[in-house]
C-alpha cells in the first residue's frame, strides 16, 4: 500500500527548486537531477532523472558502505523476478557494475541474455559509495522489469565488502529495503524543517510489539484540538520508531463518527478484532494511510487542507496498525504515529477521502490457488456519484492496495461510474486466499484523496451476493455467512478446471454494492457487472518480450455516456 500523488503542472517548477536538500550522503551528486529521495535515513540516498526522448533513466545511488551496493526494479515487491543493478568501487578506484536477475529469494544471478544496466561513474568518500548508472525504461529482456509510467517498486541492498575475485556478492542480511515510487511523476517532498515554525499535533501509540505473526492493533484518541474557528492541516509526517519500524507493515488513521461517545479515561486500545464492537464507529472514514515503502512526509496542494477545529465535529480519531512479526521477536516497544502540521491561513477547500473496490471479506474475495491470472472486478454505479457536487471533485492522490501512478490531477464529475480491476497470481499457493487484513489475505481497494470534501460519500464497495454463492457452491444452509463460506474454502482442492469455473463465476455472478458515508449507507444489487473492453497491452518495441506485472490494479473513471473500457 502507498500514496501516488498527482499535482497541477504549475507546481512543478516550485517543487524542483525546493526539492529536499536533507539527504544524508556527504558526497555531492555527480550532476543535477529532477528527483531525489532518502531511501533510508543516514544510510542510503537516491537521485534520478528520466529522459523520455532517449527512453532512458539515470540513477545515482549513495550508500553508507565501502562494499557493494544494489538497486533493483521489482515486479511485485519482493526479490523474485527482480531486475537488479549491482556496483562497487574496486581497489584501483574503478567503478564495477553487474546486471543481475533474481529468480527467487536466493542470490541474484548474472543476466547473460543482455547487459542493460550501465555504470557511468562512481567514487568512495568518507565511508560512502556513490555510483551513477543508467538503464532503458523498456529493455525487452525477459530478465528485466520495465519501468512503467505508473508505480514502480524499488528494492535496494548493500554489503560491507566488495564482491570476491569471481565477482560474487556477499549476503546482505538485514541491510536491505524497498520503496514504492512513481518514478516518472514523483513529487519530491519538502524537508520537515519547512514546517518547523508551524503549530502541530501528534497521535502516537505506546505499547509493546505483539509477539504474533500478524496483528492488527487499534487505539482511539481524543482530539486535543479546540480551535474556536476552523484551521487546515497542510502536511503530515509519519513517525516511525527506529526500534520497531521493521514490524510495521502499514498504518491507517481514521476519523470516528461525530456520534461516537467514549469514556475519555479508558479509550479503546488493543487487538482490533477484540474491540471491534467498541470501535465500530471509527473505521469508515480515512484521514491518511502509510505502508512500507511510502513517503513519510506528505504535503497537501496549496488550495486544500484537512479541516480541524471550528464546526468540524470530529472528536475522536483511531490508529490501526498492522504488525508483521513472523519470527515472534519480543521486548520491542513501539511509538509509531503521525504528526500533523497546521497552516497559518485557511485554504479554499477541505480535503476528503474516497475508497472504491471490493469488501475485504471472503464473501467478496475468495481467490483460488494455482491461478496465473485471476481477475476480480468491482463496480460503483453512477447513482453513487450523484452525491458529487455539480462542479465535480479534484483527485490529487491515489492509493491502490493489494498485498504482495502519478499523472495530472483527475476530475470526477456528477454521474461518473467507477470500476476497479485486480489481477492475482497464486501459482505459489495451495490454499484459497480470502479477503482480509492479514498479509496472507488479500485486498482489492483503491483510495483517492480529493477536494472539496463531501459529507455523504466516503466509500463504494462491491461483494458477491450470498444467494449467488449458495447456488454456485450448491449449499442449502439457510443462514449461509462468512464463517460457513470460509469453512468450505479451506477444504477445496484446486484443479485448473475448478479455477476456470471460479473465474467464470466471478465474471458473471450477481454483485451487491454499498456506498455512502456512515450512518447513511445505500445498498444496490446488480445481476452482473457491466462488461468492459480491455485496451491492448503496450507491446515491447525492441523484441518479442512483453513484461506483465504479477499483481496489478487498473482503475477507470467512466463518464455516464462514455464508452466503457478499462484503462
CATH number for the domain harbouring residue 306: 2.60.120.310
Q: How confident is the model at residue 109 (pLDDT cuts 50, 70, 90)?
A: confident
Is the peptide bond preceding residue 374 cis, with omega within 30 degrees of 0?
A: no
State how far the Cα of 492 lies from the Cα of 36, in Å rounded to an integer.
Answer: 48
Sign for the CA dihedral angle at 175, 177, 183, 186 comes to negative
Secondary structure letter of residue 29 according to DSSP: P
301, 8 Cβ separation under 8 angstroms: yes
260 and 304 both lie in a single domain: yes
301 and 425 both lie in a single domain: no
31 and 175 both lie in a single domain: yes
Asked if residue 323 belongs to a domain, the reply is yes
103 and 220 both lie in a single domain: no
Supply angle C-alpha 462, 465, 470, rounded to 5.
150
359, 484 Cβ separation under 8 angstroms: no
536 and 503 both lie in a single domain: yes
Residue 2 has pLDDT above 50, yes or no: no
CATH number for 145: 2.60.40.1210
342 and 396 both lie in a single domain: no
Closest CA to 273 of 155, 86, 437, 514: 437
Output phi, psi for 84, to 5 deg. Answer: -130, 135
Q: Are strands 459-464 and 352-358 parallel, antiparallel or unpaired?
A: parallel
Enclosing domain of residue 215: 188-350
218-227, 306-315, 434-443: segment of lowest average pLDDT = 434-443
DSSP 382-408: TTGGGGS-TT-EEEEEEEEE------S
Residue 521 has pLDDT above 60, yes or no: yes
Q: How many domains does the chain have?
A: 3
pLDDT value of residue 348: 95
Q: What is the pTM of this model?
A: 0.71
What are 257's three cell numbers?
463518527
The percentage of the chain sitting over the pLDDT mark of 70, rounded to a whole number, equals: 86
- Residue ending a domain, choose from 143, 161, 181: 181
Asked if residue 1 belongs to a domain, the reply is no
295 and 390 both lie in a single domain: no
Query: Where is 222: in which H helix or E strand?
Result: strand 214-222
Q: How confident is the model at residue 306 (pLDDT cuts 50, 70, 90)?
A: very high
463-512 pLDDT, tens digit per residue, is: 999 999 999 999 888 888 899 999 999 999 999 999 999 999 999 999 99
41 and 97 both lie in a single domain: yes
Radius of gyration of the chain (CA): 24
374 and 400 both lie in a single domain: yes
Residue 277 has pLDDT above 50, yes or no: yes
- Residue ending a domain, choose from 130, 150, 181: 181
State how far the Cα of 497 lies from the Cα of 399, in Å rounded to an integer.
Answer: 34
Q: Are strands 433-434 and 445-451 parallel, antiparallel or unpaired?
A: unpaired
Q: Which residue has the higher pLDDT, 131 or 448?
A: 131
Task: List, in order, residues 6 or more apart from 266 with CB less than 8 Å away.
Answer: none
Asked if residue 15 belongs to a domain, the reply is no
pLDDT value of residue 166: 86
210 and 258 both lie in a single domain: yes
154, 73 Cβ separation under 8 angstroms: yes
Asked if residue 14 belongs to a domain, the reply is no
State how far the Cα of 333 lies from the Cα of 472, in Å rounded to an integer.
Answer: 48
Asked if residue 274 belongs to a domain, the reply is yes
334 and 302 both lie in a single domain: yes
Asked if residue 3 belongs to a domain, the reply is no
365 and 290 both lie in a single domain: no
Asked if residue 209 belongs to a domain, the reply is yes
Task: List, in order, residues 6 or more apart from 264 with CB less than 8 Å away.
Answer: 222
Mean pLDDT score across all residues of the chain: 83
184, 280 Cβ separation under 8 angstroms: no
Burial 52-77, CB ≥16 within 10 A → b, else e: eeeeebbbbbbbbbbbbbbbbbbbbb
Asked if residue 16 belongs to a domain, the reply is no
- Residue ending a domain, choose from 350, 385, 408: 350
380-433 pLDDT, tens digit per residue, is: 888 888 878 888 889 887 765 544 423 345 667 777 888 888 888 888 788 899
Amino acid at each position: 500500500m502507498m500514496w501516488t500523488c498527482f499535482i497541477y503542472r504549475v507546481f512543478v517548477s516550485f517543487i524542483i527548486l525546493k526539492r529536499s536538500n536533507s539527504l544524508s550522503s556527504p558526497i555531492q551528486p555527480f550532476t543535477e537531477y529532477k528527483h531525489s529521495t532518502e531511501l533510508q535515513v543516514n544510510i542510503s540516498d537516491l537521485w534520478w532523472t528520466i529522459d523520455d526522448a532517449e527512453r532512458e533513466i539515470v540513477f545515482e545511488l549513495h550508500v553508507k558502505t565501502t562494499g557493494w551496493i544494489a538497486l533493483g526494479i521489482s515486479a511485485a515487491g519482493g526479490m523474485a523476478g527482480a531486475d537488479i543493478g549491482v556496483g562497487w568501487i574496486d581497489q584501483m578506484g574503478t567503478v564495477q557494475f553487474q546486471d543481475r536477475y533474481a529468480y527467487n529469494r536466493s542470490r541474484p544471478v548474472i543476466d547473460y541474455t543482455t547487459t542493460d544496466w550501465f555504470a557511468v561513474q562512481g567514487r568512495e568518500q568518507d565511508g560512502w559509495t556513490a555510483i551513477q548508472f543508467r538503464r532503458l525504461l523498456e529493455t525487452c529482456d525477459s530478465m528485466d522489469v520495465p519501468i512503467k509510467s505508473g508505480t514502480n517498486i524499488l528494492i535496494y541492498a548493500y554489503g560491507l565488502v566488495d564482491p570476491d575475485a569471481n565477482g560474487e556478492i556477499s549476503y546482505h542480511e538485514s541491510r536491505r529495503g524497498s520503496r514504492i515510487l512513481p518514478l516518472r511523476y514523483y513529487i519530491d517532498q519538502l524537508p520537515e524543517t519547512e514546517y518547523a515554525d508551524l503549530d502541530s499535533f501528534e497521535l502516537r501509540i505506546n505499547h509493546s510489539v505483539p509477539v504474533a505473526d500478524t496483528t492488527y492493533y487499534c487505539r482511539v484518541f481524543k482530539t486535543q484540538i479546540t480551535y474556536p474557528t476552523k484551521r487546515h492541516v497542510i502536511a503530515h509526517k509519519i513517525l516511525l520508531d527506529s526500534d520497531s519500524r521493521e514490524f510495521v507493515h502499514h498504518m491507517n488513521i481514521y476519523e470516528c463518527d461525530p456520534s461516537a461517545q467514549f469514556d475519555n479515561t479508558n479509550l479503546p486500545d488493543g487487538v482490533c478484532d477484540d474491540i471491534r464492537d467498541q470501535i465500530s464507529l471509527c473505521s469508515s472514514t480515512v484521514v491518511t494511510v502509510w505502508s512500507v515503502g511510502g513517503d513519510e512526509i506528505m504535503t497537501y496542494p496549496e488550495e486544500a487542507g484537512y479541516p480541524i477545529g471550528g464546526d468540524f465535529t470530529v472528536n475522536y480519531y483511531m490508529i490501526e496498525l498492522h504488525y508483521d512479526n513472523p519470527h515472534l521477536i519480543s521486548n520491542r516497544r513501539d511509538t509509531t504515529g503521525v504528526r500533523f502540521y497546521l497552516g497559518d491561513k485557511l485554504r479554499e477547500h477541505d480535503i476528503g477521502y474516497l475508497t472504491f473496490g471490493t469488501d475485504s471479506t471472503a464473501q467478496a474475495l475468495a481467490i483460488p490457488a494455482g491461478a496465473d491470472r485471476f481477475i476480480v472486478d468491482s463496480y460503483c454505479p453512477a447513482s453513487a456519484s450523484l452525491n458529487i457536487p455539480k462542479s465535480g471533485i479534484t483527485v490529487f492522490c491515489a492509493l491502490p492496495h493489494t498485498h504482495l501512478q502519478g499523472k495530472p490531477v483527475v476530475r470526477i464529475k456528477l454521474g461518473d461510474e467507477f470500476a476497479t480491476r485486480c489481477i492475482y497470481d497464486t501459482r505459489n499457493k495451495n490454499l484459497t486466499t480470502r479477503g482480509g487484513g492479514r498479509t496472507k489475505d488479500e485486498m482489492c481497494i483503491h483510495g483517492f484523496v480529493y477536494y472539496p470534501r463531501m459529507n455523504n460519500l466516503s466509500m463504494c464497495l462491491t461483494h458477491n451476493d450470498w444467494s449467488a454463492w449458495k447456488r454456485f457452491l450448491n449449499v442449502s444452509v439457510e443462514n449461509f455467512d462468512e464463517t460457513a463460506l470460509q469453512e468450505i474454502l479451506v477444504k477445496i482442492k484446486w484443479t485448473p478446471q475448478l479455477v476456470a469455473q471460479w473465474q467464470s463465476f466471478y465474471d458473471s455472478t450477481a454483485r451487491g454494492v454499498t456506498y455512502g458515508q456512515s450512518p447513511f449507507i445505500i445498498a444496490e444489487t446488480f445481476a452482473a457487472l457491466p462488461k468492459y473492453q480491455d485496451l491492448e497491452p503496450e507491446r515491447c518495441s525492441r523484441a518479442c518480450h512483453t513484461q506483465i506485472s504479477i499483481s496489478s490494479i487498473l482503475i477507470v473513471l467512466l463518464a455516464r455516456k462514455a464508452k466503457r473500457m478499462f484503462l
